[in-house]
Structure 1
């Protein structure tokens, strides 16, 4: 990267709004995000967002793709990597042990995850359906290998009755299930997580503090069945579809040879699970 390119990028990011958009796209990598979702998450007007995205695009920091009538924006990973390389190229006389980004050092030093019982947290906004499904399914499918937890980012929530009824009919233990806030898992006495998954786009868009222990994270977004409309039968079908989609992803996760994968390979597998088709095989 040339000095004039780096200067353009840094001047583009020297703006709170543009930087906020870039950080949201970074949180959602490798997924793309629609402008309406970005605007809603950041609380800005679409017209303002269009100006920000235009500036980021001119600096080469974002890419876009069209899917039907929707446009999805993504972080240009190679461009960001080039900027980081440029900034540290002359640092410490080429000492990568000192100059490499913190995340890269952590990944390069990370051993294969040992055999153990893994703690897994599923996060959604309300913790009323999707993350509750994930907690219950993993507790059943991964019994003995995983401790499953779930939480929501909203201050208050409660279990959705359609979700509870579906879990009961599918043989899940619902006696200990309850809606929980993410704050319960951010205290010094909370279990240290090995995996943290967001299962709705709203939770994935939010800026959260780093998790203790540097767990492996991924985004497994699914449609929100709570928003389904129509008769009770139609709503129940929406919940059943989301449950089935989550179950397929959990089964793929449980089948992974976790202790045989390095962290980068494991991350790639988890990202692939998040991209699984919602349609049954």
Structure 2
């Protein structure tokens, strides 16, 4: 038996270590500061250090230093190796024996069909950033995408600065409203092909898995709603969020989606997220 895989399974056989690993998978390709991780899973710093040490020892995550901060990122090669080991060893090389792996495995081997795709933008309040994402994707590539947005804790109404920004850019604001993610989780909800989280809080929450396992990306942005200062300074924060999402959506819609399989497309989105963060 491969002892490294045993160590990895043992490291994940603890509820909070598993929660930590799942959080880092959701945040990939981000490198996340230790302090942010501690707050996300609500543990003391010394307890977190113990959990991180176990996951690092098992080879499931990596550690880097940036100034005085320690940053952690999931090692996707090792995570993929663990999944391959389970299929090859426990399933005797037959994913058909380990439902529901077959459907997920087939998705990784086939190209996306040439059709209109559904995309959902998620943040906490669904009053600014995710609304920007929905509007921009609809206006930039509405012939290829049906765009939606929602919040994990939506506000009762859209932020007035966000509405003003969209109106000034010539966007149609009539279809926009604040929505809860629960609207997109029922049996009659549209099946999502892409899910984008656009704020750190949404990425750190234990968001439920979407039916069909959509391709996902984390495009974290500072929350313009929390900007302080003069009205001009607040408007600048909304302008920066709008511009950042416009650049990301332009890069996303330029991808040859219909020619890529799901695994390749996910990798391209991960690379895109890293490239845009470096700009």
- Same fold (TM > 0.5): yes
Pair 202,157 (structure 1): closer, same or farther in 2 beyond 3 Å: farther
Q: Measure, in 1, the Cα distance between the counterparts of 2:16 and 2:124.
A: 24
Equivalent position of 1:106 in the other structure = 106
Paired position in structure 1 for 2:226? 227
1:72 is paired with a residue whose SS is strand
> Partner residue of 1:273?
272
Find the residue that maps to 2:32 and give its secondary structure.
coil
The Cα shift of 1:253 comes to: 1.6
- TM-superposed deviation, 1:187: 1.1
Gaps of 5+ in 2: none
Number of the residue aligned with 1:44: 43
Give me the whole-angstrom Cα distance separating, in 1, the residues matched to 2:115 and 2:99.
Answer: 30
- Where 2:7 maps in the other structure, the secondary structure is helix
Preserved contact between residue 18 and residue 52 of structure 1 (Cα < 8 Å): yes
**Counterpart in 2 of 1:212?**
211
Aligned residues: 278
Matched residues in 2 for 1:213 and 1:84: separation? 19
1:234 Cα deviation from its structure 2 partner: 0.9
**2:195 equivalent in structure 1:** 196
Verify the 8 A CA contact 1:249 1:276 in the aligned structure 2. no
Shift of the alpha carbon at 1:275? 2.4
TM-score of the two chains, using structure 1 as the length reference:
0.88
More deviation in 86-95 or 147-156? 86-95
Offset, 1:278: 5.8
1:41 aligned counterpart, secondary structure: helix
The 5 A counterparts of 1:124-203 are 124-154=123-153, 156-203=155-202
**Alpha-carbon distance in structure 1 between the residues aligned to 2:214 and 2:80:** 23
Determine helix, strand or coil for the equivalent of 1:211. Answer: coil
Structure 1 stretch displaced more, 29-38 or 92-101: 92-101
Q: Structure 1 residues 74-83 or 29-38, which shifts more?
A: 74-83
Q: Secondary structure at the match of 1:273?
A: helix
Relative distance call for 1:20 and 1:245 in structure 2 (3 A) is same
Which region of structure 1 is more displaced relative to structure 2, 152-161 or 190-199? Answer: 152-161
Shift of 1:209: 2.7
Establish whether residue 123 from structure 1 lines up as the match of residue 134 from structure 2.
no
